[in-house]
A and B are shown apart, each in its own frame.
Chain A
Amino acid sequence: MIRIRGLKKRLGSKQVLDGVDLEIRTGESVVVMGRSGTGKSVLLKHVIGLMAPDEGSIEVDGQEIVGIKETELNQVRKRFGMLFQGAALFDSLTVGENVGLALREHLRLPEDRIRARVAERLSWVGLSGVEDMKPASLSGGMRKRVGLARAIAMDPQFILYDEPTTGLDPIMADVIDQLIRSLQRKLGVTTVVVTHDMVSAYKLADRLAMLHDGQMVFVGTPEETRGTPNPLVRQFVEGSSQGPIAV
């Protein structure tokens, strides 16, 4: 379980997170939605310790990760996988090296077992036989899938997705959504997805949370989201420029 309480973060003159509270239960899939620039990615980076909050607490399975040493944080990070918005593949490495990097760095496995694990994870995302390709030669959808294979290489308990379908065509977005859902079921992982794509959000979420003005203004199931009277959520879900959210 991930428990976020009273999380505050100021970047420059903007209070990006202003007391965020959220609980993500073990094995569930929570989608954090909100307009661009509301701090969704910032929230995700706090969960994996890439950013430190000004105030507040984040617990991962009961362990507080705010303010702990980098070495302890790294032990927590090994239980996470993260798919970045632009996939963040290492340009200088091949696809196979990208997917196998954490295995080579953290596990003392023989090279043939690492190669087998890399091939297996690539096959899970539908990309067998691309180990020797360079990230520069991949399409946007392939890059995301390689990023996904890299995120699951270490058998994580938690996977964080930062805008997994942004920049993809609707068909490829659906492929990624299905992959995320199938991996969650297959591996039983706790999933946090940040997106402003409502089509994906409904497909992926056990619960949806909406971040607005630095706070969680709504948390509920997809059914509760569809029927909520909350004007902020309604405006966002309906994609309307008219309403309480200033454009």
Chain B
Amino acid sequence: MQEDLALRGARYIRRRTFDWIAEVGRVAMLLGDVFRFGMPGLRSFGLVVQQMSSIGVGSLWLVFVVSLFTGAVAAVQAAYQFSTVVPLKYLGAVILRSVIIELGPVLTALVVGGRVGASIAAELGTMKVTEQIDALRAMAINPVRYLVVPRVVAAIVMLPVVTVFANAIAIFGGYVVAVTSIGVSTHTYVLGLKQFFYLKDLYSGLLKAVFFGGIIGTMGCYYGFATEGGAEGVGHATTRAVVASCVLVLISDYVLANVLFRFIFAS
């Protein structure tokens, strides 16, 4: 009985491992197609602009609220941890660097990943189950070129743009809290920002945002295209796209942090 259970467990693990490897392979093939059809896809510039608006402009309000409170919380937490150990004149600097290196890109990616990843997967998933993607192929229109390339390119372009906006709002949120409830003057806060602003910090954050944009766009499209069944399938695809985007954003954040701060911007 125990042996039987162990055997079933081993088979399950083997099946899941193979499924996972196959899934990675399919994502890689989709990415290959995105590169292959990248230039022809950009020919339809209107589609890219449409997606840029949907992904970028459409996310601004959500990013605004999240960033404002992220900056505010960062100010409260930093002030609490500084206590008597670190002078409050460094408050602006700490908020600035934590926001532009880490909080801005990652939180923006998670928020946009949730919103946009779900939206792309649901839209393409619905197109799949209602035969709209088959209809495109029947009309000799490549669905990767027509649907995937504009979304992935728009996500790659717009995520850094939204991240810059998020950084600014978060720093402003930190400023409001620092001045109104912690007692730091505007001059001190701004001085901290100026003294500890390094361009490489901004670049590293924006470079991360480029990768995160690629992940969000690709995962949304992949799970949308992989949708099977009806409404239930679309629901599954949406959930999986969001989960995969968020997990991959966090994993790639770790990898990129190592590459950027140990090698590229090490000095």
Residues of A bordering B, CB below 8 Å: 45, 48-50, 70, 74-75, 77-78, 80, 82, 84-86, 88-92, 101-102, 105-106, 150, 154
Contacts and interface: CB of A to CB of B under 8 A. Distances in A.
Contacts of A84: 131, 134-135, 138
B132 interface: yes
B138 A80 contact: yes
Contacts of B141: 101-102, 105
A227 B81 CA distance: 92
A239 to B, nearest CB: 27
A63 to B, nearest CB: 15
The number of chain B residues touching the other chain, given as a range, is 10 to 19
Chain B contact residues: over half helix, strand or loop, or mixed? Answer: helix
Interface of B: 123, 126-127, 130-132, 134-135, 137-142, 146
A84 B141 CA distance: 16
A45 B142 CA distance: 16
B135 A48 contact: no
A85 B131 contact: yes
Nearest to A153: B139
13 contacts: A49-B137, A77-B138, A77-B139, A82-B135, A84-B135, A86-B131, A88-B132, A88-B134, A90-B127, A92-B123, A101-B141, A102-B141, A105-B140
Contacts of B127: 90-91
Nearest to A51: B134
Contact of A50 (B126, B137, B146): B137
A50 B130 contact: no
A243 B256 CA distance: 68
Contact of A106 (B123, B132, B140): B140
A52 B103 CA distance: 48
Nearest to B133: A88
B102 to A, nearest CB: 36
A144 to B, nearest CB: 13
**Counting chain A CB atoms within 10 Å of each CB, which of B130, B131, B134, B135 scores highest?**
B135
A95 to B, nearest CB: 14
B99 to A, nearest CB: 36
Given A86-B130, A88-B132, 9 more contacts: A48-B138, A78-B140, A80-B138, A82-B135, A84-B134, A86-B131, A90-B127, A90-B132, A150-B139
Contact of A74 (B123, B140, B146): B140
A102 B135 CA distance: 11
Contacts of B137: 49-50, 77
Contacts of A75: 140
Contact of B139 (A45, A91, A92, A102): A102
Interface centre among A48, A88, A154 (most CB of B within 10 A): A88
8 nearest A-B pairs in the assembled complex, by CB-CB distance: A74-B140, A88-B135, A88-B131, A77-B140, A102-B139, A82-B138, A84-B131, A78-B140
A89 B126 CA distance: 12
A79 B84 CA distance: 78
Contacts of B140: 74-75, 77-78, 102, 105-106
A75 B139 CA distance: 10
A105 B139 contact: yes
Contacts of B126: 91
Contacts of A101: 139, 141
A78 B127 CA distance: 21
Contacts of A45: 134
A80 B135 CA distance: 11
Nearest to A103: B139
Contacts of A49: 137
Contacts of A89: 132, 135
Contact of B135 (A70, A90, A154): A90
B161 to A, nearest CB: 23
A174 B131 CA distance: 24
Contacts of A82: 135, 138
B202 to A, nearest CB: 36
A212 B129 CA distance: 25
A226 B135 CA distance: 35
Contacts of A48: 138
